[in-house]
């Protein structure tokens, strides 16, 4: 009668009693730690910068959805967007590009090789401005 209502005792190979609840908790903790690590690696595999860019795109889309459908002449975002567009045949666009190029040109740049196409080397590096890339 006594053995009929007793709990089962589980033992390991050496004969010691096993604590199943503690083992189960340890397995849960290990599984949680590995799932956390796998989740982080999956996040890294997607690319952190791409994830931030996607989040930024979603935020921008939500911001655009909040705006009214009819946009009026005093809308600053629309005005900025239209100013940033480059149109074909715009006479002032060339002038603005020249000004930007001149501003960038003021920064010192190293001179580049301007001769005929040099023979390729194993690193695909172009020769310097004083040398044509041929060993003589």
Supply the pLDDT for residue 130: 81
Q: Which percentage of the chain shows pLDDT scores above 90?
A: 27
With b meaning 16 or more CB within 10 Å and e meaning fewer, what string describes 118-129?
Answer: eeeeeeeeeeee
Residues 129/111, Cβ–Cβ less than 8 Å: yes
Q: What is the pLDDT of residues 14-63, one digit of tens each?
A: 999 999 999 999 999 999 999 999 999 988 888 888 889 999 999 988 98
Supply the pLDDT for residue 7: 85
- What is the DSSP track for 55-117? HHHHHHHHHHHHS-SS--TT-HHHHHHHHH---TT-HHHHHHHHHHHHHHHTS-------SSP
Q: What is the C-alpha to C-alpha distance for residues 14 and 21, in angstroms, rounded to an integer?
A: 19
User: Count H helices, E strands: the chain?
Assistant: 4, 0
Phi and psi at 28, nearest 5°, equal -60, -45
Model confidence, pTM: 0.35
Question: Angle CA(88)–CA(92)–CA(97) in degrees, nearest 5?
Answer: 85
């Amino acid at each position: 009668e006594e053995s009929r209502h007793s709990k089962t005792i589980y033992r390991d190979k050496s004969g010691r009693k096993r604590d199943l609840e503690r083992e189960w908790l340890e397995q849960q903790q290990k599984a949680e730690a590995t799932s956390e690590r796998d989740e982080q690696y999956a996040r890294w595999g997607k690319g952190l910068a791409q994830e931030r860019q996607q989040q930024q795109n979603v935020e921008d889309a939500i911001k655009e959805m909040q705006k009214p459908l009819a946009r009026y002449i005093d809308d600053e975002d629309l005005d900025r967007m239209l100013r940033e567009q480059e149109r074909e045949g715009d006479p002032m666009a060339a002038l603005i590009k020249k000004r930007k190029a001149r501003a960038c040109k003021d920064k010192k740049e190293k001179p580049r090789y301007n001769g005929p196409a040099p023979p390729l080397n194993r690193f695909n590096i172009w020769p310097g401005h004083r040398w044509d890339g041929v060993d003589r």
